[in-house]
Structure 1
Amino acid sequence: MPVQHLTVGIVAVKRKLNNPWVDFEWLPEAVLPGLPAVAPGTRIGAEGAVERWYIGPADITFHSGETAHYRDNLVSGRPAVWVALREGADGAWTVAGATVDPYEGEAFVDVVTDKVEALPMPHEIAVDLQAFVDAHHVDQPFFKRKRDRKDPHAEPDYGLGHPARQPGRRS
């Protein structure tokens, strides 16, 4: 099964909150098509109460069995990369995952402590993804299952919990 790996950089935004319980909010903000020349955890800019940080690298894997999902993402009108950030025990935020599969990205929100965003897909990643889909996509025909017809002359199947099926009881 063909697989392709891309390594991307993730930028997050840190905002000061006016909240008695939480000082800052971290959210993924951008996906870089390559790795920048700065170390993970580097502050790369600030505007008032908002800081931008290079969080670190993330691996995106294309699987040939998921090309229909990738195609759905590409034709959506707003191709996206889903990024999840997670806070470590030391309080530092790291990349928990990144994907271009919209259904996998939807599953990222199941971890309620992660911060998940669908970020705009950089053109370079969209070109690589489209090339992968073009090379490996195989249309799967849709087969509608048909139910078995019930025999109108068969005895009714009441199941084990039905009183007519209890031991020692006659119907």
Structure 2
Amino acid sequence: MPMGVVIRRRPGVTRWAKYVWSPVAVLPGAAPAAWRLLREDGDAADFHAATVPLTLYRGEAEAYMVALSQPEPSVYVVLRQAEHGAAWPYLVHLVTASPHEAQLYAESGDEIVERVAMPPGLLAWVGSYTQAHYVEEPFVKRKRRRHLEERTEDGIGDPRISQASDVYRAPGSIRRAGET
């Protein structure tokens, strides 16, 4: 589904950052756009920065279920810094409904990852997809493997060492009978 991303520009609070840029909304089914001004309110402005596809994958249905179970179901917008000298400071890299994928992008620290609330229509679309493809996997407690149970440790060290006096000696240092 094409997803428009609305980014808000606000004045910075320090002298080192003139503006603060943050994703504030998504527009499901939006037409292509490139930093189209939506509204201005004093020094703050909202831009339709880009339209990127929101793709859902069957294997990620469990992650979507996690996102839908939050008090405020959200999608995640990933912004990457544009090249030096570009007209706009950020590029919209992707929009995802998976909190697990968003966390992977957030760990690097190179991208800006923000939660944006899902509009009701998008919530219904992601919810119906997730219900159709989610398969709850039953919890299976791991058990000890048999081949590990059969091998017993008597606490005598290396079984290749016949002397009981020094059981922790390496096998290469054993003298065979008749050697000097």
TM-score bin, normalised by smaller chain: 0.7 to 0.9
Out of 55, 58, 80, which is 1:64 matched to? 58
Pair member with larger Rg: 2
Separation in 2 of the partners of 1:138 and 1:46?
Answer: 45
Separation in 2 of the partners of 1:164 and 1:30?
Answer: 68
Q: Give the alignment's TM-score, normalised by structure 1.
A: 0.81
RMSD: 2.3
Separation in 2 of the partners of 1:109 and 1:166?
Answer: 50
State the partner residue of 2:152.
Answer: 151
Q: Does 1:76 align with 2:81?
A: no
Is the contact made by 2:6 and 2:49 (CA closer than 8 Å) also made in structure 1? yes
The one-letter amino acid paired with 2:123 is: A
Separation in 2 of the partners of 1:14 and 1:155?
Answer: 71
State the partner residue of 1:160.
Answer: none
Number of residues paired by the alignment?
159
State the partner residue of 1:50.
Answer: 44
Highest RCO, 1 vs 2 (Cα 8 Å, sep ≥ 6): 1
* Structure with the higher strand share, 1 or 2: 1
Out of 153, 167, 170, which is 1:165 matched to? 170
Q: After superposition, what is the alpha-carbon deviation per residue over 1:112-140, rounded to whole angstroms, capped at 9, x for unaligned?
A: 23221111011111111111122222221
Structure 1: gaps (5+ residues): 1-5, 158-162
Separation in 2 of the partners of 1:24 and 1:169?
Answer: 74
Q: After superposition, what is the alpha-carbon deviation per residue over 1:50-70, rounded to whole angstroms, capped at 9, x for unaligned?
A: 111111012211111111211
Deviation at 1:29, TM superposition (A): 0.8
